[in-house]
Chains A and B, each alone.
Chain A
Amino acid sequence: MVSSTDTISASFVSKKSRSPETSPHMKVTLKVKNQQGAEDLYKIGTHAHLKKLMSAYCTKRNLDYSSVRFVYNGREIKARQTPAQLHMEEEDEICMVMELGGGGPYTP
């Protein structure tokens, strides 16, 4: 069985995650959908910060992190929220919206 998954590794691995006593943690698969309908699948821990998912999406799509907004159930996702806090389940869908710009305030 050849697995077709990509792994985004962290820069370092802590000792605790490698210890054999640690039980395997829950992971959840989430879909990120942009405004054109393209879907990406990500598997992330239920207690991990969603900023990692958002950064991974922006890296993959070559987007500026500050110029996008992620919406789940009509609310914006904050960087330090976790899937457990938002009660996300398997194959839940996150919508990605581009931030739009216009004219700015006039400062003499």
Chain B
Amino acid sequence: MSRRRSNRVRNTNSKYVSSPARVTIIDDCEEDEYLHHRTCWKHIAAALSKCGSKPKRTKELEIFKLTAPCFYDECTRRGRSERRIKCKYLDSKLRKKLNSKAFVGYLEDVWRGFSDEKKNSFVYLDCLWFSMYKSENHNIRSSVFDSVKTKQIFSKKYVFLPIVYWSHWTLLIFCNFGEDLDSDKTCMLFLDSLQTTDSSQRLEPDIRKFVLDIYRAEGRTEDSSLVDEIPFYVPMVPQQTNDVECGSFVLYYIHRFIEDAPENFNVEDMPYFLKEDWFSHKDLEKFCDELHSLGTIH
């Protein structure tokens, strides 16, 4: 009789409580990799400072500083050998569609090729930022504007925004964004190598919302009707001839625009050089060969 009562009391005490979310524990066999990495002077100093360093060992640390440099985080790798670059397998990789990682790598190669004086008026935004802006997640949308602030786009004359949407690469160029919107200097150029799809008409409302939110994030209180009146041009640029060329077309648009851009952009003088005969297909092939011969694999 008394045993049964004690059992009941125990059962009520050990009631099952379910947690709201399941936590996945990542079991780290090398959990404290920093402290257990003992082959360089930085980490030996960290391990000694944890155990309480003695003054005797400072002399040993000076010796270790010279003989055991730290390659933990800044390990630089040798460039890939030229022989491997020329084999057929790697060549076939470049024929596939560009994803955003490869695009960013190629764009950095293009950007590195220009001098600092020429690049002073230009800046480019990350190609994923527009699709992150259109995401349902609020934190991802706000992180886009935190990243845009670091680019200082209002002090530049031209801002490149590569857009990848519906598996198609296009290029949006903001001209004279730092100017007052009452003056007629600000405009947007939408370069599309596949203009039959009418990507510009479908993306234009979201682009204008994006521009308005950039102004608000930067603290400029612009009227939304003024943002709606910014000219949005879709110039006739050279078009692609197959279904996978739009990524390289956007890279070449950026390359040629930096070379040919006017010193002072004026809306009345449109379209400047943005015509169907801006460049030929042979120029694009030459550009892709040069980019391919740089040897950087993405």
Contact = CB atoms under 8 A, between A and B. Distances in A.
A102 B246 contact: yes
A45 B31 contact: yes
A12 B30 CA distance: 10
Contacts of B146: 73-74
B128 A102 contact: no
Q: Which of the four size classes fits the interface of chain A?
A: 35 or more
Contacts of A1: 14, 17
Interface string B1-39: 000000000000010111101111111111111111000
B96 A104 contact: yes
Interface in A1-53: 1-10, 12-14, 16-17, 25, 27, 29, 33-37, 39-45, 47-49, 52-53
A106 B245 contact: yes
A47 B34 contact: yes
A17 B283 CA distance: 60
A17 B31 contact: yes
A37 to B, nearest CB: 6
B139 interface: yes
Contacts of A40: 24
Contacts of A56: 24, 26
Listed residue (B22, B24, B96, B99) with the most chain A CB atoms within 10 angstroms of its CB: B24
Contacts of A33: 137, 139
B143 A103 contact: no
A14 B30 contact: yes
* Main SS at interface, chain B: mixed
A16 B36 contact: yes
B97 A104 contact: yes
A27 B32 CA distance: 10
B248 interface: yes
A74 B264 CA distance: 33
A96 B221 CA distance: 31
A42 B28 CA distance: 12
A105 B98 contact: yes
Given A10-B29, A37-B137, A95 B18 contact: no
Contacts of A41: 21-24
A88 interface: no
Contact of A104 (B28, B91, B98, B289): B98
A100 B100 contact: yes
Contacts of B243: 103
Given A102-B98, A106-B284, A10 B27 contact: yes
Contacts of A5: 22-25
A53 to B, nearest CB: 6
Listed residue (B128, B147, B240) with the most chain A CB atoms within 10 angstroms of its CB: B128
Given A41-B22, A106-B244, A107-B94, 10 more contacts: A4-B22, A14-B29, A25-B31, A41-B23, A43-B26, A48-B32, A73-B143, A82-B34, A102-B169, A106-B284
Interface of A: 1-10, 12-14, 16-17, 25, 27, 29, 33-37, 39-45, 47-49, 52-53, 56, 60, 66-67, 69, 71, 73-75, 80, 82, 84, 93, 95, 97, 99-108
19 contacts: A1-B14, A8-B27, A36-B137, A40-B24, A43-B25, A48-B30, A52-B26, A95-B143, A97-B128, A100-B99, A101-B164, A102-B103, A102-B167, A102-B246, A103-B168, A105-B247, A105-B251, A106-B248, A107-B94
